[in-house]
């Protein structure tokens, strides 16, 4: 007995079959992970169990140029465990993101028997490489992110544009940008820029350590759980 899955991603539908020995229906870790981000409807059709996935996928947008590798590892783990759609945007190819994409794709394809169907399955991890230049990554994220997305950046200007679109924004220290605090953060940023131009202040970004990684991880898990709950 095989499991037939309807995977609807945007406007495209893909059908593939998965041996039940791999999925174990309710008990499988993969099914449990998918349940976190898919609405699943089980029903028996003749000798097969038909599983329909109606996708309300959480989308993550990562300003990857300024996102340290340890934080990208946290995000990638969540993406692969929960099968979330994530866009890592940078002006260069990030090897860790590419490797995660390849490993996740291989994992998903390993559960499919038919070669032609297997080739259609890809990880929802996407590496977006933009042209070099100021604000290229920012423009891409602003143009593509939707109000129910979760974005990660430490760029205050980008955060301001995203917050105005109703997008939840997290920085690399686990702070959440909101309509209530973004104006103050912008003012502080502009003041620091002026002082730096006059040579009065040399802004230094504190190196990320175990404490900062833990704080980001906790905040990211919290905001992701909120977003998934809202998706219902």
Nearest CA-CA partner of 35 in 21, 18, 53: 53
Q: State how far the Cα of 56 lies from the Cα of 38, in Å rounded to an integer.
A: 6
> Measured between alpha carbons, how far apart are the two ends of the chain, in Å?
30
- Tell me the average pLDDT across 30-58: 39
pLDDT at 89 (0 to 100):
96
- If one compares 230 and 218, the residue with the highest pLDDT of the two is 218
More confident call, 3 vs 163: 163
Say what the pLDDT of residue 148 is: 87
Q: What is the pLDDT of residues 112-126, one digit of tens each?
A: 888 888 888 899 999
- The stretch 102-111 carries a mean pLDDT of 90
Q: In Å, how far from its chain's centre is CA 172?
A: 14
Query: Percent of the chain scored above 90 by pLDDT?
Result: 44
Sort strands 150-152 and 59-63 into parallel, antiparallel or unpaired: parallel
Maximum mean pLDDT: which of 48-52, 132-136, 141-145, 187-191: 141-145
Q: Which residues are CB-neighbours of 57 under 8 A, at least 6 positions away?
A: 9, 37, 38, 84, 85, 124
Q: Is 211 exposed, middle or buried (0-12, 13-18, 19+ CB in 10 A)?
A: exposed
Helices and strands counted in the chain (H then E): 9, 10
pLDDT at residue 139 greater than cutoff 90:
yes
More confident residue, 52 or 177: 177
> What residue segments make up the domains of the chain, in order of their start?
3-55, 59-231
Q: Which range is least confidently modeled, 11-15, 50-54, 146-150, 222-226? A: 50-54
User: Which class does domain 59-231 fall in?
Assistant: alpha beta
Query: Torsion over CA of 110, 112, 115 and 117, rounded to 10 degrees?
Result: -130
More confidently predicted of 152 and 4: 152
Q: What pLDDT sits at residue 201?
A: 55
Nearest to 158 by CA among 39, 65, 20, 25: 65
Give the ranges where the chain is alpha helix by DSSP (H).
20-23, 29-35, 69-82, 95-109, 115-118, 136-144, 156-164, 182-197, 210-231
pLDDT at position 105 is: 92
Distance, CA of 180 to CA of 201 (rounded, Å): 27
Q: Is the pLDDT of residue 26 over 70?
A: no
Residue with tokens 């007995």: 1
Tell me what pLDDT residue 232 has.
65
pLDDT value at 143 more than 50 = yes
pLDDT over 70 (residue 162): yes
pLDDT at residue 71 is higher than 60? yes
């Amino acid at each position: 007995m095989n499991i037939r899955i309807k995977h609807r991603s945007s406007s495209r539908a893909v059908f593939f079959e998965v041996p039940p020995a791999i999925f174990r229906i309710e008990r499988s870790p993969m099914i449990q992970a998918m349940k976190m981000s898919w609405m699943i409807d089980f029903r028996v059709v003749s000798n097969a169990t038909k599983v329909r996935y109606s996708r309300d996928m959480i989308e993550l947008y990562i300003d990857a140029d300024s996102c340290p590798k340890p934080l990208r590892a946290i995000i990638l783990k969540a993406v692969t465990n929960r099968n979330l759609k994530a866009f890592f945007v940078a002006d260069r190819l990030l090897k860790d993101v590419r490797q995660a994409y390849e490993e996740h794709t291989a994992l998903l394809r390993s559960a499919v028997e038919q070669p032609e169907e297997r080739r259609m399955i890809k990880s929802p991890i996407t590496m977006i490489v933009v042209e070099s230049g100021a604000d290229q990554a920012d423009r891409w994220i602003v143009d593509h992110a939707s109000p129910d997305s979760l974005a990660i950046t430490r760029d205050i200007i980008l955060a301001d544009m995203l917050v105005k679109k109703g997008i939840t924004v997290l920085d690399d220290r686990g702070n959440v940008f909101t309509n209530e605090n973004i104006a103050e953060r912008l003012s502080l940023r502009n003041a620091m820029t002026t002082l730096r131009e006059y040579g009065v202040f040399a802004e230094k970004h504190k190196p990320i350590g175990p404490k900062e990684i833990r704080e980001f991880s906790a905040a990211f898990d919290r905001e992701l759980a909120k977003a998934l709950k809202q998706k219902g």
